[in-house]
Amino acid sequence: MKQNNNDKKWQGSISLLCLLIAVIVCVIKVKYCTEILFFVVCLQFITTVIIQHLYKEKSIKVEKIAIEKDNNNLNLKLPSQFSLPYAVIDTQKKLLFYNTMFEQIFGEKALKTNQKVFRKLFPHYDVKEQKQTISFKERTFDIYTSFCETKNNTVDTVLLCFVETTQYQNLEATLQEQKTVVSLLFLDNYEEVIETLDESRLPILTALIDRKLNNFASSVEGIVKKFEKDRYIFVFSQKQLEILKEKKFELLNQIREITVGEHIPVTISMGIGVDDKNLEAAMKSAKAAVALALGRGGDQVLIKEGEKYLFYGGKSGEISHNARIRARVKADALWEMIGETNDVFVMGHKKADLDSIGACMGIYTIAQTMEKQCYIVLDQVSPGIKRLYERLEETEEYKTVFITQQQALEKVNEQSLVVVVDTHRPIMTICPQLLDISKKIVVFDHHRKSTDFIDNAVLIYHEPYASSTCELITEMIQYFGEKIKLKPLQADALLAGITVDTKNFCAKTGAITFEAAAFLRRHGADSTRVRLLFQNDMASYQAKASAVKDAKMIYKDIAFSVCPSDVENSVLTAAMAADDLLNIVGVKASFVCCFLEEVVYISARSFGEINVQMIMEKLGGGGHMTISGAQLSHCTIEQAEQKLKEAIESYLKEDT
């Protein structure tokens, strides 16, 4: 600073001298005054430039010497009172220098006693990153890095500047916790419950339900509003949602415990929408979530956050909601849609079973009655439908009905009606491309709804309470009355589908199931002919017996076995073995695997206490509470068994 002042004094003295000479010249009017003045000005300019250059060169030299000296002593002379904490380290994360604020924040004693303390303070710090975020004693900092290069263009010193972001991070966390969550809550079986009550007890039941829900809303610091007799809207915060997740939504059990006299328990379905965009998007997600919850049988909570779904509950059986009315409405809608089209394409799921092919036959019968061209898309004849397919081939009528995927793609157009049966997942259909071409899609299914359902269908008849898709189709045919005349072979196909999915009317049967079977029997179905469709050869029967014989208990009440794959219909044999394992005392659930064409097929069965559908969903499969399955591609039997055990353990933990 002193050197700078002295140079300024010299520069000012020279300027004053030049000015004095110029004044004297003007007073005495020297002959060559113009030339003298020009000389004086040039002299001043040259003198100034020389002085500035000498000062700059001298300053650089002094600074360079100081830096070299400091580097030798490893003690940099940098301002310690800088308003932000900063430090200088080498490439080995050794601390070379730090200012006062850095010392105050990260510990004065530790820094003075250990020069390598930087590695302990920030073990995850990466020298190569120019910006990083670190946490220290509940405080958050952004570290900005500057690299110092030497003459050899190598980095040997790193300057770190710390900007505290604790307040910003806390504010962001608070905003996230207070984000509004929208929820819709429906009473699953309100109509069925009130039918079992006297009118005098109805207000008591309503009051108990409202009280439970109001207490629940108060406990989560939210609000609840009833907008219909059996429908409510909840609004609460993201923070409370995380608490509810930990408690696994105990509200489901609290509502189920409500009793007013002798009646069936009340169950609820709850759809929660979480969306960062706005409340409108959150409400849309909540609607999609509650619709999926109802499609999966109710008595559960679904959370939809973007494209992600979370499931809680879902341990009760499916409930019928005005089944007869719905069947009549869907039948009328299907009749109208078929009447408006010229051709109908029907397809089920891959590896078609009797329920899938039987439902296709039912739709074909309706289209045939209306004199519409109908095709059944079939990829291959699986062993499960081989005997029925052989009977159909013997009839001249069906020789042009079954077509391949390629033929279907050549014939279909935007105005064609595409009917999907026995599945609601695009990836499971025989020809997913048909769903992209046609603008008219109809879905009939009885499996519990998955997240990847067909969302562009114009008509959906999805009832998880039904035993089979053939039961749903038969219900609709009944409402057409004399319009439709079932042939014995068509009636056999529908009855076979019901029989196989109910395990000979032992599982998932209700009054409507038996009524549908009686209707088919009156229209020519024969139980003896149907039974012949399920006959196995000796090899398949021995394979089933072998799977049952070699079964082991992988948990206290869960059986596991492997079915031999060298039989004609190993997948169906595995399913039959899983059914037979439930006949063993103490077995509450059974899982049987078989390996076929690089795919492991898992058949799962239970009595309902263990929800095998939720276990299979963890493996990418699905089905019902008591009957379900999954397919694992590019997997060995040993790997499949390990994945199955992990899925069961996860389910059991969630159930506790």
Q: Looking at the predicted structure, is the pLDDT value of residue 318 above 60?
A: no
- Quote the number of domains for the chain: 5
Angle in degrees, 0-180, between the axes of helices 488-501 and 386-393, rounded to the nearest 10 = 170
> How far out from the chain centre does Cα 238 lie?
18
465 and 374 in a common domain = yes
* Per-residue three-class SS string for 470-498: HHHHHHHHHHHHHHCCCCHHHHHHHHHHH
- Helix (H) / strand (E) containing 100: helix 100-106
Q: How far apart are CA 304 and CA 285, in angstroms?
A: 6
Decide if 508 is inside a domain: yes
Average pLDDT, the chain: 80
- Is 620:452 a contact under the CB 8 Å cutoff? no
pLDDT at 517 over 90: yes
Distance, in Å, from the CA atom of 318 to the CA atom of 384, rounded to the nearest integer, reads 27
> For position 255, what pLDDT does the model report?
86
pLDDT at 316: 59
468 and 525 both lie in a single domain = yes
Mean predicted confidence (pLDDT) in 57-74 = 40
Report pLDDT digits (tens) over 338-397. 998 989 999 999 888 899 999 999 999 999 999 999 999 998 888 788 889 989 988 888
Q: Which of 385, 384, 472, 375 is nearest to 423 (CA)?
A: 472
Paired residues of 236 in beta bridges: 181
Dihedral angle sign, alpha carbons of residues 129, 130, 136, 140: negative
Task: Please check whether residues 46 and 148 belong to one and the same domain.
Answer: no
**Counting beta carbons within 10 angstroms of the beta carbon of residue 134, is it exposed (0 to 12), middle (13 to 18) or buried (19 or more)?**
middle
- Sign of the torsion angle spanned by Cα atoms 347, 348, 352, 358: negative
> 116: buried, middle or exposed (CB in 10 Å: 19+, 13-18, 0-12)?
exposed
Residue 320 lies inside a defined structural domain of this protein? no
Specify the higher pLDDT residue, 59 or 376: 376
From CA 570, how far away is CA 593, in angstroms rounded?
9
Q: Which of 197-206, 393-402, 466-475 has the lowest mean pLDDT?
A: 197-206
Residues 163 and 248 in one domain: no
> Do 349 and 371 have their domain in common?
yes
Whether residue 366 is contained in a domain is answered as yes
Give the pLDDT of residue 109: 52
CATH number at residue 512: 3.90.1640.10
pLDDT at 13: 58
Q: 46, 72, 98: which is the final residue of a domain?
A: 72
Same domain for 548 and 613, yes or no, is yes
SS3 (DSSP) at 347: strand
Count H helices and E strands in the chain, helices first. Answer: 24, 23
The confidence band for 66, taking pLDDT boundaries of 50, 70 and 90, is very low
- Could you tell me if 424 and 443 are in contact, meaning their C-beta atoms sit under 8 angstroms apart? yes
20 pLDDT band, cuts 50/70/90, is low
How much is the pLDDT for 266? 84
pLDDT of residue 602 exceeding 90: yes
- pLDDT band for position 75 (cuts 50, 70, 90): very low
Helix (H) or strand (E) holding 195: helix 190-195
Per-residue pLDDT at 578 exceeds 60: yes
The token pair at 216 is 């629940």
In a domain, 175, yes or no: no
Sorted by sequence, the CB contacts under 8 Å of residue 466 that are 6+ apart come out as 323, 446, 472, 508, 512, 513
Domain membership of residue 206 (yes or no) is yes
**What's the CATH number where 619 sits?**
3.10.310.30
- Cα–Cα distance, 289 to 439 (Å, whole number): 25
CA–CA separation, 457 vs 475, rounded Å?
21
Q: Are residues 159 and 194 in the same domain?
A: no
pLDDT at 188: 83
Residues 117 and 95 sit within 8 Å (Cβ to Cβ):
yes
Residue 77 lies in a domain: no
- HEC assignment per residue over 618-633: CCCCEECCCEEEEEEE
- Do both 370 and 261 map to the same domain? no
The answer to whether the beta carbons of residues 490 and 484 sit under 8 Å apart is no
Last residue of a domain, one of 114, 137, 170: 170
The whole-number pLDDT of residue 115 equals: 52
308 or 422, which is more confident?
A: 422
* One domain, residues 189 and 149: no
pLDDT at position 157 is: 78
Show the beta-strand stretches assigned E in 150-179: 155-164
pLDDT score at 39: 54
Q: Is 182 helix (H, G, I), strand (E, B) or coil?
A: strand
Tokens at 348, concatenated = 């089920």
Nearest residue to 473 (alpha-carbon basis) of 493, 450, 448 = 493
Better-scored residue on pLDDT, 148 or 577: 577
Indicate the SS3 state at residue 1: coil
Distance CA 263, CA 194 (A): 8
Is the separation of the CB atoms in 588 and 607 below 8 Å? yes
- The answer to whether position 244 is within a domain reads yes
Position 47 pLDDT exceeds 50: yes
pLDDT on residue 69: 37
Look at the block and give the residue holding tokens 């003075």: 112
d(CA 13, CA 6): 11
Residue 81 within a domain:
no
Task: State which of 517, 532, 547 marks the end of a domain.
Answer: 532
HSE toward the beta carbon, residue 449, CA cutoff 13 A: 26
**In the structure, what pLDDT confidence band is assigned to residue 63 with cuts at 50, 70 and 90?**
very low
Provide the 10 A C-beta neighbour count for residue 483: 11
Confidence band (pLDDT; 50, 70, 90) for 78?
Answer: low
Q: Where are the alpha helices (DSSP H) in 466-611?
A: 469-480, 488-501, 511-522, 527-532, 538-549, 570-581
- Residue-level pLDDT at 409: 93
Q: Contact, 270 vs 184, CB < 8 A? A: yes
Give ∠ CA 416-420-421 in degrees, rounded to 5: 145
CA distance 626 to 608: 5
Query: Phi and psi (nearest 5°) for 225?
Result: -140, 125
Residue 82 near residue 105, CB atoms below 8 Å: no
Most confident of 51-65, 98-112, 298-312, 341-355: 341-355
Please give the pLDDT value at position 263: 61
Residue 638's Cβ-side half-sphere holds a number of Cα atoms within 13 Å equal to 0
Give the best-scoring range by mean pLDDT among 134-143, 538-547, 618-627: 538-547
Q: Structure tokens of 268?
A: 């609820």
pLDDT of residue 72: 42
pLDDT at 67 over 50: no
pLDDT reported for residue 129 = 76
- 3-state class of 656 per DSSP? coil
Same domain, 468 and 496: yes
Domain range enclosing 252 = 182-313
pLDDT at 58: 43
Instruction: Give the pLDDT score at 154.
Output: 59
CA–CA separation, 494 vs 466, rounded Å?
A: 14
Residue partners of 206: CB distance under 8 A and separation at least 6: none
- Tell me the percentage of the chain whose pLDDT exceeds 90: 27
Q: Domain check: are 610 and 635 in the same one?
A: yes
Same domain, 291 and 384: no
Mean pLDDT of 269-277: 85
Strand pairing report for 95-98 and 300-305: unpaired
Is the confidence at residue 38, as pLDDT, over 60?
A: no
pLDDT digits (tens, 9 = 90+) for 417-454: 999 999 998 988 999 999 999 989 999 998 877 778 88
